[in-house]
């Protein structure tokens, strides 16, 4: 795909391995993985304009190659409802980033659509030394970090296999629905898994990919954070 190849070529020209969130999300879009609408503000004057174009509420995030875990440095501000809140958040994020790393190079501030809160899942991929591109699925937060409740498959993964993966995690009842919790759109998650599998099969230079989190709804799913690392 032309756009994906262009982005990856540019990353290589700049002699780096990490993609920025907007680059990773632009690649996701080419593979029909739904992401939050976004624009990168390069100066203060753009941030409110972009927020208005995207529509309130919005989220602001630091864009910097030196910052991998954005929320750890106070680089993510959620649910900004007015122009005033957006302006303030813009300054706070830049201050926080510089406080954390005084010489950090900042590419801009990402303005994006605020996705309604919901159950968060993770879709990932790694290039395994032995098995090659492999995809991972699990629920977000403690399910992955503490309980290691995840499943892996060697790519390519078919839609049927993706559906099976989803049922294999211990936390599957959370997605299937329980008591008066309605079932979530596991079909949309399966599509994300399949499209991620296609992406890492097509571009074998991808060493790691992380869609963390993907918000899952009764209808649809939306990726709110994406990370890609090249070999």
- With respect to Mg ion, which residue has the nearer C-beta, 28 or 48? 28
Give the one residue of 62, 212, 215, 228 binding Mg ion; rule: CB under 5 A: 212
The residue range among 99-107, 110-118, 142-150, 172-180 that interacts with ligand ADP, by the rule CB under 6 A, is 110-118
* 120: Cα within 13 Å, side-chain hemisphere: 14
Q: Is 200 in the site for ligand ADP (CB under 6 A)?
A: no
Q: Of 96 and 187, which CB lies nearer to Mg ion in the complex structure?
A: 96
Smallest distance, ligand ADP to C-beta of residue 225, A: 3
Name the residue with tokens 């790694």.
126
Q: Is residue 173 helix, strand or coil?
A: helix
Stretch that binds ligand ADP, among 108-116, 122-130, 168-176, 177-185 (CB under 6 A): 108-116
| Contact call for residue 70 and ligand ADP (CB under 6 A) | yes
In sequence order, the 6+-apart residues with CB closer than 8 A to the CB of 106 are: 62, 63, 64, 94, 97
| Least gap, CB of 78 to Mg ion (angstroms) | 12
Closer residue to ligand ADP, CB minimum distance, 114 or 188? 114
Q: How many CB atoms lie within 10 A of CB 130?
A: 6
Give whichever of 161 and 225 is closer to Mg ion, judged by the CB atom.
225
Q: Which is nearer to ligand ADP, 69 or 179 (CB)?
A: 69
186 binds Mg ion (CB under 5 A): no
Q: State in angstroms the smallest separation of the CB of 115 from Mg ion.
A: 12
Shortest Cβ 105–ligand ADP spacing (Å): 17
The 8-class DSSP code of residue 224 comes to: -
Tell me how far apart the alpha carbons of residues 88 and 107 are, in angstroms, rounded to a whole number: 19
Provide the 10 A C-beta neighbour count for residue 199.
Answer: 24
Q: Which of 3, 97, 100, 90 is nearest to 41 (CA)?
A: 90
Angle at 15 (CA atoms; ends 12, 17), nearest 5 degrees: 75
Give CA–CA dist 193/135, Å, rounded: 7
Give contact residues for ligand ADP (rule: CB under 6 A).
36, 59, 61, 69-71, 76, 78, 112-115, 120, 213, 224-225
């Amino acid at each position: 795909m032309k756009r994906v190849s262009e982005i990856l070529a540019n990353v290589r020209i700049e002699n780096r391995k990490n993609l920025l969130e907007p680059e990773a999300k632009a690649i996701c879009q080419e593979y029909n993985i739904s992401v939050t609408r976004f624009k990168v503000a390069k100066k203060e004057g753009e941030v409110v304009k972009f927020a208005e174009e995207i529509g309130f509420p919005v989220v602001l995030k630091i864009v910097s190659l030196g910052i991998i875990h954005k929320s750890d440095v106070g680089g993510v501000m959620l649910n900004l409802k007015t122009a005033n809140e957006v302006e303030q958040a813009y300054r706070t994020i830049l201050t926080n980033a510089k406080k954390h790393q005084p010489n950090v190079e900042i590419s801009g501030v990402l303005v994006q659509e605020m996705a309604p809160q919901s159950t968060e899942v993770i879709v990932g991929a790694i290039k395994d030394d032995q098995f090659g591109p492999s995809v991972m699925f699990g629920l977000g937060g403690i399910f992955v970090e503490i309980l290691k409740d995840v499943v892996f498959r060697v790519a390519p993964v078919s839609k049927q296999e993706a559906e099976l993966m989803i049922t294999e995690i211990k936390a599957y009842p959370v997605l299937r629905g329980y008591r008066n919790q309605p079932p979530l759109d596991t079909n949309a998650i399966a599509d994300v898994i399949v499209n991620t599998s296609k992406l890492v099969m097509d571009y074998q230079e991808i060493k790691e990919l992380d869609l963390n989190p993907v918000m899952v709804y009764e209808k649809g799913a939306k990726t709110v954070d994406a990370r890609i690392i090249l070999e």
